[in-house]
Chain A
């Protein structure tokens, strides 16, 4: 006897109609005993909803319900035969595929798999195993093996892939043999075996609920128990010829949607955000006639989910996405990956990130390690530029004590993890141990507490999987790999979304026909999503799928046309929204189903979609509104921070000239950013090292008066090496080593210049002289003195003429002259006053004579390593003093406003100045592309 087909009209929601069908014959207070029923639904969500409806209806009608077993279509085969061997789980299957691949003749594989890994790293092989496992699964579902592809494919004209499938067939045979030897099998094989030997049996009444698209394996198994199968088809009886004997769709008969979709139910908008806005408008149009739980938003294009969720939330509406989140985003999962990253290379960046993990942070606190380790690590990193963190600590101990403690604490946690491979299950105790240490005793937030059992269950079952692996397949893996593997095993575990009576539910396309909410708004009604289609493929292009009777474009389209027909017929409020553009600006076309089923409708809909100006209002209900006509965000005024000005460093004047506002932030509030991703010395650090070397040189009484460059060079080299080692260790990154050589080259040229300079009769008198209070250099402004401070790099005196030369070392690449850096000739403006003000500072060192001012440049162009005197006359220098007085006056009057457009060298304050325009030094000549 064939399967019994029962048609339930689709004018009511499918599952509601089914429940009525089941309950109607039962009297009030009677019993509906479905314990002998196996109800087969198309998907998990339909199953849950069916159960909900059954229980609620029993409740409403006061009927005792002995519930049926409800399973999804994918699970029904296992209810029809007795499983004779254990099943290999996915991990085992992947390992078996890997084995089959690796044991295959590599030369023969080469043309088809030229990129197989050279080593035996499990994670490197896994992608290939996944490809084969998926292919095997899909073909077996339709009762095909790789060999069948060759025999059926030959029906095509010139099937060009025989050689490839022959290889695949052999690999598949090896794979199955391997499972056989292990006395396990995969689900697909077990099913085929049951069909072949007609082993399918049931003692249940099997009710197929809306399973309109079934694979061959399932059909054949059901055929063996057909007497006990009833297929419930949701469609008007008159459409029965459009369904086959299994109650499945005849693809030819479902090229169009068979329920009417009206023009006004269709909305065509622009980008994903516009689709979400249209959802809000549609909901607004309902005028409060429905509660949240009466509304479902369909999202065939999963990428729209966050956009829709966000807009709903923004409009104050709660939402609930059926699929929910996955464990991937949980703290535990993130910790696994971060630990793996840290184990990989022990980089500072990985370590810093690990420290930002809340579980790690709390662990350290529990271990009584106190301190501002993130900031200290920032400082340590900026100062010593380590790429990796290991035992070789640099700098002063007191500057790094906390981070050493933190590092020690975390390293000891992972001490058994480094540099070793173990068999996969052998890692389990270590995994349990580290997770216990980091999570036990931790205060869980409410959100975490809710998901915690799911997460621990997922981890436990993954560990169980590792333990259950057949011995001969167990791979050896590194610590980092086992963490990544565990992550991939648990990552996709779904966390069911919270339920709430006000929540608007978001559902994927396949679930929509089986829902019964009266309001349905479907987004993403675009070709490619509805109907989905696939043209071309790595293994199974559409034409091959057709020959093999696999799911092809026609079947997909039929399934989606049917689904849309069910929805359109059964909902009180039904709206379809299509976009014109995807999130990454790819053009989208409305679904072919929206164009209708006749040439006339095609014409009118085309005109509507592409020509009509939208008549929808542009406003979006529920969208946040701006509170002001013009926002008045501006950098904070600084008056409240102003203090008495007593002294100034001579270098500060430049900053004030550049921007009084930023000057205040930098010199009075001493704001500073610690953020840096530098991996080599920046201008400041580079200059500091050179200055330090040159200072040591200048203080060395014997060397500094040498007229032979060699001893000078040797001394500088020695000091450079010493300093670099102290700062950056004995094995710094190559970039730093290269920089050291560049400094060496500059210093070498300096040695030559210095020797010649000495030979001319100049001697160094003062070096890095910090002019402090004890040698006050007062500078009068409006009758009130201001204390000038500064550090003079070097003062030389000529042995015979007594001339005094005040030097500042400059180590920037450019090697500009003092004139260029201090004075803008065209505009007659001082932009820096450092050298001119040195004239006043030197007085406190007892130098009363006129002095020459100069740079000693050590730029990138080595020929330019030499001194550069400033040629300013007395009048000009006097104007510099006047400029300085102006600045002192302004500061005394607390003039720091407004910030200038261009922060110059003080870029780090851009955010405080709310620099909203791209201000980086631009490339005037370079054509922007």
Chain B
């Protein structure tokens, strides 16, 4: 075995933003290929699908470029540092890669997990044929599970109401389902990674009994009132709180507050010892009440989740729908019990090399799975490990990402080499300057004054950033929003301000990409709205693209169509009716008066039927054709996307058009424009870069108190050992010490992640950065905006003020050529007239896709269902088929009569319980003795008796043996007309040949239907006439026969008669 570990030591790279993580990873990949490592043994994974695509593309391109250019080849050789790499070698490596494309393992971690799980689905207890559950379906499933859970739990009503009472802190809120669902959404993921004791194991604090409380209050009441006025009032208030059991209020004021803080001075006067003594038991009790309430609420949350899980999980299995986290969990639980060799067998590959990108976003569950492979490759010399990440960009904590895993890798694996990477290959020096100023000075930033831990952490993790592009110019501007006369500004005004700013930046920097990065999707929507809708006449609309997309309901034309869908589903919906009547669709569906119930019903019924029969896609497509003339480009693009969505929807279409409305409302569709301006959340911008970045929304408080829970782990990468629902920081002093520590750790994590987000936001910029913040914020206030302004500006943040400008405001000039060349390339094509696609006219006679007609397939028409669905009796049918098969054995009886043995063999496939073979065989043999039948099947009798009766004009020639009689059994007939091909099988045909040429034909179709009188025989004749007439036509066409030279007959086995049609 090669000792690859020397050449490719197991490595962790800590790469700052824009420093080329993917480049490093591709270096490792290429190096391994160069060392003849089979590509199928290399797992290269990341989190985003797009990034996964880029890895492979980068690997292939670098090889191709090296093969093409000597410079690139030398550069690649330098980077790989694994021996000489000629251009020819690069080409060969590329060829090998191409030959193994189907075996490559370059993709997302989720994809790898899904694949692995599907290969072990049975053993791991996954439902057969499972698929990944989409959000919309999962939502419906959760509601169903919750409803089921409530029904089950309501059997013990008191327990249920107590549980819900605890969850809602004794309040009597109106909504039940939504609030429970919110709790479930907030906590379910956590529930799944924890055990019950984590939620229920926290010891309760001591409290007094009711009696004791009453006694203590009495004692307080009976005590002489304090002399000091403040003390007296406070004392009275405290007694009242205690009587009302408002323990939270009790502890927040007066003597109890002082006693709790161990500071026995109230209004600069010491509290009398008597009161300290009297209050202490109640303070302890109050604290217990407050803390225990939280603990009970946490326990109740667990019980809710447990009951929910008991309904939800089986439901998911039943519907065969799983979430990605279910897959990770299943693997984490089961894979460690499976031998690696076995895993590799099912996966069809042994993984020798792991290359993991964006490692800081790995969740604990994912790590549990990956760890198995990581330890294995780390253990063996011929296998390698490589991961790259940046804890400064760990912004997926909310999704379970634990950046500490990245730190831990080095300690969990042996002999790991750790490398830093801090030279940006993206940004201009001025951007790096800002990054260094902000993140290099966090230890003195007043906003973080209360969080020395966070400051320390960043002091160690942040290295001064440099840039490779020293020649790039750029500009940074920090300004505040303007305010209205009240000194305030609201979200709408801010959005308009940002939109105008972006529009002018766009105008002034042609060819530049602009990223407007927000915190919330709602802000994205608002900014897009104003970019698109300027105040009339002030400027051109700016069509920005929305990363990740918004639902199509951002288009007016789409809204009209959805109104029509609502009307179709609910004809009584007056709002939808009114909207349809006033939309361009009114003409299309002919609905003009919203007050008319009858028309609404008729329109609804017609639309529903159309959607069901023609499909959602074609129906909407049809409407859109008529809407297009009233649309602009964007509206039409959105409509066309709606059509696409509708076609995709078809597979899941229900009878209720409202389900489609929900589907559209819930599905995000990216705006189709490839606009220079893109608006998105910072999270969505990860991995992207823009020439200009605008950050308009850095003002939210970082520790917002909106978190749902705090957790404790022995260490960041260990399982959760304790859970508490989140509580107000006001209550922190009351909490047991361990919970206080959890709370502080949680706060640090939250701030850390916010700093990561700020770091990601700033480092997206290549040349230029514009930050707009709210004015008048205190430097100590913990917000991303204050962290930034504290670091960059000493100005007071007055409204509408530029606080700082760094760099060259005319930076664009220097790079103008580059950007202008882009605008030329991207210049949209001039609007052109609709060009149709011309086709040559179809030929007069079709040559393809002719209809295939089988004469025996009788037209069912629209006969009653009861008739159409009557299954012919199984035995009769089997018997009929058997008799056909036997008759088919007979050419001429006088030539060969099938032996009993032969007949029995044929019968094998038709045997079934109830079909009496002996009886049928006897019946058949007897039938063959009946003269009428024998006359038909015996060549001599046929020639002498039957043939002359069919064709009297040939009697003489027949008698003189001048005509040959050739029997064809199961004879195929095929001929074409203009539009169709007729294709059938004739049971028996006697061809009359004179000198080898067919001069007449007797066409016989056996029928085993029961018919015992003339009337029923006539009925059968009529029934089968159309079929036989097709044969008639065929014979005339094929053999150029006159009409009278083709005889059509039914061979009626039940009466042993052959009847001419």
Genuine A/B complex: yes
| A720 and B961 alpha carbons, distance in the complex (Å) | 105
**Given A734-B160, A917-B526, CB of A460 within 8 Å of CB of B68:** no
Q: Which of A214-222, A451-459, A887-895 contacts B (4 or more CB under 8 A)?
A: A451-459
* B119-A536 in contact (CB<8A): yes
Task: Point out the residues of chain A lying under 8 angstroms from B865, CB to CB.
Answer: 432, 435-436, 439-440, 456
A444 cross-chain contacts in B, Cβ below 8 A: 862
Q: Which residues of B contact A741 (CB under 8 A)?
A: 161
Q: Among B26-34, B89-97, B417-425, B1005-1013, which stretch is in contact with chain A?
A: B89-97
Contact A675 B630 (CB under 8 A): no
Most buried by B among A86, A291, A433, A911: A911
A374 within 8 A of B: yes
**Cα separation A704 to B526 with both chains bound (whole Å):** 52
Provide the bound-state CA to CA distance between A280 and B160, in Å.
Answer: 61
Cα–Cα, bound, A686→B571 (Å): 26
Per-residue CB proximity of B577-604 to A under 8 Å, as 1/0? 0110010000000000000010001001
Q: Which of B56, B566, B655, B837 contacts A283 (CB 8 A)?
A: B837
Q: Which of B2-10, B284-292, B616-624 is found at the contact surface with chain A?
A: B616-624
| Binary A-proximity of B517-531 (CB < 8 A = 1, otherwise 0) | 011111101101100
Check if A127 sits within 8 Å of B905, measured CB to CB: no
Interface hit among A567-575, A587-595, A795-803? A587-595
Query: Shortest distance in angstroms between B274's beta carbon and chain A's nearest beta carbon?
Result: 31
User: Could you say which residues of chain A place their CB within 8 Å of the CB of B605?
Assistant: 358, 361
Complex Cα distance, B115 from A695, in Å, reads 64
Which residues in chain B, 595-647, are within 8 Å of chain A measured between CB atoms? 597, 601, 604-605, 608-609, 612-615, 617-618, 621, 624-625, 628-636, 640, 643-644, 647
Interface readout for B829-860 with A: 1 if CB under 8 Å, 0 if not?
10111111111111100111111100000011
How far in angstroms is the closest Cβ of chain A from B525? 4
The segment from A1-9, A646-654, A921-929 found at the interface with B is: A921-929
Is the beta-carbon distance between A378 and B570 smaller than 8 angstroms? Answer: yes
**Minimum CB distance partner of B910 in chain A:** A86
Q: Which residues of B contact A283 (CB under 8 A)?
A: 837, 839
Q: Can you name the residue of chain B whose Cβ is closest to the Cβ of A82?
A: B905
Q: Are A624 and B834 touching (Cβ within 8 A)? A: yes
In the complex, A419 has a CB within 8 A of chain B: no
Q: How far apart are the CA atoms of A408 and B630 in the complex, in Å?
A: 47
Complex-state Cα separation, A610 to B848, whole angstroms: 39
**What residue of chain B has the Cβ atom nearest to residue A683's Cβ?**
B174
CB <8 Å contact, B832 and A619 = yes
Contacts of B125 in A (CB 8 A): 114-115
Q: How far is A673 from B497 in the complex, measured between Cα atoms in Å?
A: 36
CA separation between A537 and B116, bound complex, in Å? 9
Assess the B621–A374 pair: CB atoms within 8 A.
no
A617 vs B101: C-alpha distance when bound (angstroms): 30
Note all chain A residues with C-beta closer than 8 A to B91: 599-600, 602-603
CB distance from A435 to the nearest CB of B (A): 5
User: When the two chains form their complex, are residues A314 and B574 in contact, meaning their CB atoms are under 8 A apart?
Assistant: no
Contact status A675-B835, CB under 8 Å = no
Instruction: Give CA–CA (A432, B871) in the complex, Å.
Output: 10
Complex alpha-carbon distance, A813 and B173, angstroms: 6
* Known contacts A603-B91, A742-B174, A909-B575, A293 near B842 by CB under 8 Å: yes
Contact call B575/A916, Cβ cutoff below 8 A: no
Asked whether B129 is an interface residue with its Cβ less than 8 Å from the other chain, the reply is yes
Report B-chain residues with C-beta under 8 Å of the C-beta of A431: 869
Whether A625 lies near B833 (C-beta < 8 A) is yes
Q: Are B522 and A313 in contact (CB under 8 A)?
A: no
Within 8 Å CB of A245, what residues of B?
none
Mark out the residues of chain A between 483 and 516 whose CB falls within 8 Å of any chain B CB in the assembled complex.
Answer: 499-503, 505
Contact of B1 with A by CB under 8 A:
no
Across the interface, which residues of B come within 8 angstroms of A85, CB to CB? 908-909, 911
Complex alpha-carbon distance, A707 and B948, angstroms: 118
| Whole-angstrom CA separation of A338 from B151 in the bound complex | 24
Taking a contact as CB atoms closer than 8 A, the residue among B102, B829, B849 that contacts A535 in the complex is B102
| In the complex with contacts A541-B345, A587-B56, A916-B554, A456-B650 CB distance below 8 A | no
Q: How far is the CA of A920 from the CA of B706 in the complex (A)?
A: 19
Name the residue of chain A whose CB is nearest to the CB of B57.
A610
Q: Is A155 part of the binding interface, using a Cβ–Cβ cutoff of 8 Å?
A: no
Q: How far is the CA of A316 from the CA of B628 in the complex (A)?
A: 14
Taking CB as reference atom, which chain A residue is nearest B53?
A587
Residues of B within 8 A of A624 (CB): 624-625, 628, 636, 640, 834
Q: In whole Å, how far is B412's beta carbon from the nearest beta carbon of chain A?
A: 27
Across the two chains, which residue of chain B brings its CB closest to A256? B99
Known A737-B154, A741-B161, A916-B555; contact A633-B635, beta-carbon cutoff 8 A: yes
> Do A626 and B633 contact each other (CB < 8 Å), given the known contacts A440-B864, A527-B102, A583-B648?
yes
Tell whether A499 pairs with B628 under 8 Å between CB atoms, given A603-B68, A622-B837, A683-B174. no
Q: Answer yes or no: B486 CB below 8 A from chain A CBs.
A: yes
Q: Are A929 and B700 in contact (CB under 8 A)?
A: no
**Does B176 count as interface, using CB distance less than 8 angstroms?**
yes
- Which residues 77-94 of B have a CB within 8 angstroms of A? 88, 90-92, 94
How many residues belonging to B are interface residues under a CB distance threshold of 8 Å?
206
Do A746 and B172 touch (CB < 8 A)? yes
Residue B209 at the chain A interface, CB threshold 8 Å: no
**B810 contacts the other chain (Cβ, under 8 Å)?**
no
> Does A765 reach chain B (CB closer than 8 Å)?
no
How many angstroms between the C-alpha atoms of A318 and B101 in the bound complex? 36
Which B residues are CB-close (under 8 A) to A674?
570, 572-574
**A562 CB to nearest chain B CB (Å):** 17
Which residue of chain B lies nearest to A54 when distances are taken between CB atoms in the complex? B974
In the complex, what residues of A have CB within 8 A of residue B116's CB? 536
Residue A581 CB within 8 A of the other chain: yes
Cβ-defined partner of A622 (8 Å) among B102, B177, B836? B836
Instruction: Find the B residue at minimum CB distance from A310.
Output: B647
B101 touches A292 (CB 8 A): no
CB of A108 closer than 8 Å to a CB of B: no
Asked whether, in the complex, the Cβ of B849 is within 8 Å of the Cβ of A320, the reply is yes
- B153 close to chain A: CB less than 8 A: yes
Q: Is A630 within 8 A of B94, CB to CB?
A: no
Complex contact A334–B118 (CB within 8 A) = no
The smallest beta-carbon distance between B255 and chain A, in angstroms, is 22
Q: Using a CB-CB cutoff of 8 Å, which residues 854-908 of chain B contact chain A? A: 859-862, 864-866, 868-872, 874, 905-906, 908
> Residue B849 contacts which of A293, A538, A827, A917 (CB distance < 8 angstroms)?
A293
Of B173, B554, B656, the contact of A917 (CB 8 Å cutoff): B554
Q: Are B909 and A86 in contact (CB under 8 A)?
A: yes
Check if A592 sits within 8 Å of B655, measured CB to CB.
no
A670 within 8 A of B: yes
Residues of B contacting A65 in the complex (Cβ-Cβ under 8 angstroms) = 974, 1038
Task: Please encode chain A, from 605 to 616, with 1 for each CB lying within 8 Å of some chain B CB and 0 for all others.
Answer: 011001101000
Is B50's CB under 8 angstroms from A543's CB?
A: no
Known: A375-B570, A592-B102. A912 touches B575 (CB 8 A): yes
A317 at the interface (CB under 8 A from B): yes
Q: Does A395 have its Cβ within 8 Å of any Cβ on chain B?
A: no
Chain A residues in 8 Å Cβ range of B578: 665, 669, 671, 912
**Residue on A with the closest CB to B485?**
A827
Q: Is A329 an interface residue (CB 8 A)?
A: yes
CB pair B849–A505 under 8 Å, yes or no, is yes
Interface string of B154-181 (1 = CB under 8 A from A): 1001001100100010111111110000
- The answer to whether A449 touches B650, judged by C-beta atoms less than 8 angstroms apart, is no
30 contacts between A and B (CB under 8 A): A51-B981, A83-B908, A161-B345, A288-B840, A294-B840, A313-B618, A352-B656, A440-B864, A502-B839, A580-B53, A588-B53, A600-B91, A602-B98, A606-B64, A606-B94, A610-B57, A622-B836, A625-B636, A625-B832, A629-B632, A674-B572, A679-B147, A683-B174, A686-B174, A735-B176, A860-B173, A862-B170, A915-B559, A917-B528, A928-B518
A598-B95, A633-B630 are known; give 15 further A-B pairs, CB within 8 A: A83-B908, A310-B617, A445-B609, A452-B860, A502-B839, A536-B347, A537-B348, A538-B346, A541-B347, A587-B107, A589-B101, A603-B67, A624-B624, A631-B635, A680-B177
Give me the 5 closest cross-chain CB pairs, A-B, nearest first.
A587-B53, A375-B572, A627-B629, A288-B838, A501-B842
